Chain A
Amino acid sequence: DQQVKQNSPSLSVQEGRISILNCDYTNSMFDYFLWYKKYPAEGPTFLISISSIKDKNEDGRFTVFLNKSAKHLSLHIVPSQPGDSAVYFCAASRFNGNKLVFGAGTILRVKS
């Protein structure tokens, strides 16, 4: 039962352009949504999160949008940089401090 889905296994973007990574979820009880970035041989690194009571959160080049009615969230990276090339995971949780449920990840390649 995949509660969090990332349907695009990979995405390729030109440097300087916008990267949009998408995530869908099925459990309407999720309270928090997070994005993590992972480089090879390293653990996931937290990028940005959003509470279910908000529809947008922004941090520098990263913006997360939440559409609760569609059970969909997206991560926008503007402008994309070659160093952003990594695997991006969407995650969700119920209640603060509870376990995270991850999607399968999307490989982002930013071409210079």
Chain B
Amino acid sequence: DTGVSQDPRHKITKRGQNVTFRCDPISEHNRLYWYRQTLGQGPEFLTYFQNEAQLEKSRLLSDRFSAERPKGSFSTLEIQRTEQGDSAMYLCASSRREVKGNEQFFGPGTRLTVL
């Protein structure tokens, strides 16, 4: 399977705990994006990387959120001191910088439930 993969697929945690999600993009893709989706809404942009450089962060990304892409390959998204409002589907997507039409390929997502 050469698509975008995310791990874990599901995560249940207690309020106040830290969680970390991993995304492995399509291998030749140099851009990687994180989005968050809540029930009844479309995905909302969180941040994106070109290679290892984090080029943009949304206002949604509070100081409890941090994302890394240390070697320009896989990426991690960490949420510290989770709150119930963090419960959502976290989606990762990747693309090639030169792609025509800005097509981004999405992974299956990590569903986070904060109790």
Contact = CB atoms under 8 A, between A and B. Distances in A.
**Which bucket holds chain A's interface residue count?**
20 to 34
Interface string A15-49: 00000000000000001101010000111111001
A91 B41 CA distance: 12
Interface in B35-59: 35, 40-45, 48, 50, 56, 58
A45 B48 CA distance: 19
Given A43-B107, A43-B109, A89-B43, A32 B99 contact: no
Contacts, number: 70
A99 B34 CA distance: 9
Interface residues of B, number: 29
Contacts of A99: 33, 45, 48, 56, 58
A97 B99 contact: yes
Interface of A: 4, 6, 31-32, 34, 36, 41-46, 49-51, 89, 91, 93, 96-105
Given A102-B35, A103-B42, 20 more contacts: A31-B102, A34-B102, A36-B106, A42-B108, A43-B91, A43-B93, A43-B109, A45-B106, A91-B42, A96-B97, A96-B101, A97-B31, A97-B97, A99-B48, A100-B104, A102-B42, A102-B43, A102-B44, A104-B41, A105-B42
